[in-house]
Amino acid sequence: MDYDIALEEISGIISKSKNTLEEVVGYLYNNFEKYSWIGIYIVEGNDLVLGPWSGEQATEHIRIPIGKGICGSAAKTGKTEIIVDVNSDPRYLSCFISTRSEIVVPIIKDGAIVGEIDIDSDLKDAFDLQDKQFLEKIADMLSLHI
């Protein structure tokens, strides 16, 4: 999938949808083969709480304290985390045996972290600068809907 086309299509989804988060998650899951699990976590107090997700199975991590794991770290720092090999990162909270890499992109609204996009891949080193820039643009768009 071409990232520019995907951004256009996601922008269209966001402008028309009443279920914006769910539809964006579904779009990413259905159009990017290397994205094996996608979830959006919403900040509630000192925790990240799992919102809409798409993948073959649910994760047991439906509530993650800010600062714990890769998701919690990204929520604490406000910086995108790209993990080339989850098995070599001690912060990784294992969800699926098949997961090899992960990207977590904070969703920031008015300077505060309000959520994040969490994507796993069954491929090692699946995420690059293009994924980072693409997903950060989507996070900016989604910030208006959280």
Note the pLDDT of residue 30: 97
Burial 26-37 (b: 16+ CB within 10 A, else e): bbbbeebeebbb
Note the pLDDT of residue 52: 97
- Could you report the per-residue pLDDT of 110-143, keeping only the tens digit for each? 999 999 999 999 999 999 999 999 999 999 999 9
Which range of residues forms the domain containing residue 101? 3-145
Q: How far apart, in Å, do the first and last CA atoms of the chain sit? A: 26
CATH of the domain at 66: 3.30.450.40
The pLDDT of residue 29 is above 80:
yes
- Could you report the per-residue pLDDT of 44-84, keeping only the tens digit for each? 999 999 999 999 988 889 999 999 999 999 999 999 999 99
Structural domain total, the chain: 1
CA distances from residue 42 to 20, 76, 116, 135 in whole angstroms, order as listed:
14, 13, 7, 16
The pLDDT of residue 93 is above 80:
no
pTM: 0.95
Note the pLDDT of residue 95: 74
